[in-house]
């Protein structure tokens, strides 16, 4: 069981590492500038490994640069969401009155159907990746805040919190030194969940044409592919539609594997020496 998790985790990490390297090194890896135009609708060849699209952009280069956009949005949104969600969750769990206020705000956000509202907001704003990030952030922190809060509620009644009070620890000290480290595994898992959600939703929005037309993500590549009727009647879909779709699936799969493996690694009770001793 543990071994299986480790293998899956390594596979996931490997997949993610490949995408991250591709994203970072995009200008060196991509054979063309994604905006450079050559002959449109070329089939795959040694010059264009995945052919060209309807306006003559190299599709492989488009996807490589798209990795940057998709991963950047997912990372920034997840990181900021975790920062905000965890801070508010810690405060909400530890201080009753503030917690009540924060949780009612969370309630409001959670009752609003997330996807339709995101679509409405995205449609009413100028499409750009910064606007997309802002839209995802509106909702990103809420679930995390709630999950962290419920964990803090149980953590704060532990005896070691009392023990820390007894040696003169202040509330802030207890939150920072004792409660935060105990919720970090949850935060990491939430980070991954949020990244998965953002990658999917961003792809969906872009697919609907609400993404940034300049910084094209994988979803945007798909959007343009579907706008071109020819993909329905020829083999073009195999190199225009399938690769970006596979990228999305693989990234999400990689994240899921890593999340699964982390569950074990982040729990010090399962760490190897004691585990081996069977304590």
Partner 1 sequence: MTLLEISDLKTHFPTQSGIVRAVDTIDLSIRERETFGLIGETGCGKTVLGLTLMRLLHPTTTVEGTIRYRGKNLLTISEAEMRLIRGEEIAMILQNPTTSLNPVMRVGEQIAEAIRLHQGLRRRAAKEKAVEMLDSVRIPAASRRANEYPHEFSGGMKQRAMIAMGLACDPALIIADEPTKGLDVTIKAQITELIKETAKEKAMLLITHDLGVARALCDRIALMYAGELVEYAATEEIFENPLHPYTRGFLGSLPGNGLVPIPGMSPSLIDLPDGCRFHPRCSHAKAVCRKKHPELIEVEAGHFVRCFDA
Binding range to partner 1, per CB under 8 A, among 3-11, 62-70, 105-113, 174-182? 174-182
Nearest to 258 by CA among 11, 4, 3: 11
**Contact call for residue 43 and partner 1 (CB under 8 A):** no
| Six-digit token string for 69 | 């956009």
Residue list 177-196, contact with partner 1 (CB under 8 A): 177-178, 181-182
**Nearest CB to partner 1, comparing residues 150 and 164:** 164
Q: What ranges in 169-278 are assigned the alpha helix state H?
A: 171-174, 180-207, 218-227, 237-240, 242-265, 272-277
Residue 166 as a binder of partner 1 (CB under 8 A): the answer is yes
Give the binding-site size for partner 1 (rule: CB under 8 A): 23
Q: Is 100 in the site for partner 1 (CB under 8 A)?
A: no
- The smaller minimum CB distance to partner 1, of residues 227 and 267, is found at 267
Tell me whether residue 3 or residue 96 sits nearer to partner 1 (CB atom).
96
Our finding on whether 265 is near partner 1 (CB under 8 A) is no
Identify the residue among 6, 43, 47, 165 touching partner 1 (CB under 8 A). 165
Least Å distance, CB 10 to partner 1, is: 24
38 binds partner 1 (CB under 8 A): no
Contact between 2 and partner 1 per CB under 8 A:
no
Should residue 158 be labelled a site residue for partner 1 when binding is judged by CB under 8 A?
yes
The string of DSSP letters for 23-69 reads: HHTHHHH-SS-TT---STTPPP-SSSTT-B-TT--BHHHHHHHHHHH
CA distances from 143 to 100, 106, 164 (A): 15, 8, 29
Consecutive H or E run containing 23: helix 2-24
Structure tokens at 237: 């879909």
Residue 55: name the closest of 234, 206, 224 by CA.
224
Q: Which residue has the tokens 């995945």?
A: 50
Q: How would you classify residue 56: left for phi > 0, otherwise alpha for psi between -120 and 50, otherwise beta?
A: left
CA-angle at 65, arms to 62 and 68, nearest 5°: 145
Q: Which is nearer to partner 1, 1 or 167 (CB)?
A: 167
Contact segment (CB under 8 A) with partner 1 among 58-66, 205-213, 252-260, 267-275 equals 267-275
Binding test (CB under 8 A) with partner 1, winner from 25, 83, 100, 173: 173
Give residues in contact with partner 1 (CB under 8 A). 158-160, 162-170, 173, 177-178, 181-182, 268-269, 271, 273-274, 279
């Amino acid at each position: 069981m543990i071994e299986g998790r480790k293998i899956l985790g390594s596979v996931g990490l490997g997949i993610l590492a490949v995408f991250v390297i591709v994203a970072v090194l995009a200008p060196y890896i991509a054979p063309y500038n994604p905006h450079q135009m050559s002959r449109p609708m070329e089939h795959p060849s040694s010059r264009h490994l995945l052919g060209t699209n309807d306006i003559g952009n190299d599709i492989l280069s488009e996807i490589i640069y798209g990795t940057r956009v998709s991963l950047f949005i997912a990372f920034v949104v997840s990181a900021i969401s975790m920062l905000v969600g965890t801070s508010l969750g810690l405060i909400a769990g530890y201080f009753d009155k503030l917690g009540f206020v924060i949780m009612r705000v969370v309630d409001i956000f959670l009752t609003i159907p997330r996807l339709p509202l995101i679509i409405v907001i995205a449609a009413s704003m100028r499409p750009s990746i910064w606007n997309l990030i802002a839209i995802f952030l509106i909702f990103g922190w809420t679930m995390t805040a709630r999950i962290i809060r419920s964990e803090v509620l149980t953590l704060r009644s532990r005896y070691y919190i009392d023990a820390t009070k007894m040696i003169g620890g202040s509330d802030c000290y207890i939150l920072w030194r004792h409660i935060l480290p105990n919720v970090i595994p949850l935060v990491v898992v939430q980070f991954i969940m949020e990244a998965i959600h953002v990658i999917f939703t961003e792809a969906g929005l872009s697919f609907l044409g609400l993404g940034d037309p300049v910084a094209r993500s994988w979803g945007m590549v798909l959007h343009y592919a579907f706008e071109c009727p020819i993909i329905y009647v020829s083999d073009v879909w195999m190199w225009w539609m399938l690769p970006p779709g596979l990228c999305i699936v693989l990234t999400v799969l990689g994240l899921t594997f890593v999340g699964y493996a982390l569950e074990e690694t982040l729990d010090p009770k399962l760490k190897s020496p004691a585990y081996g001793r069977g304590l």
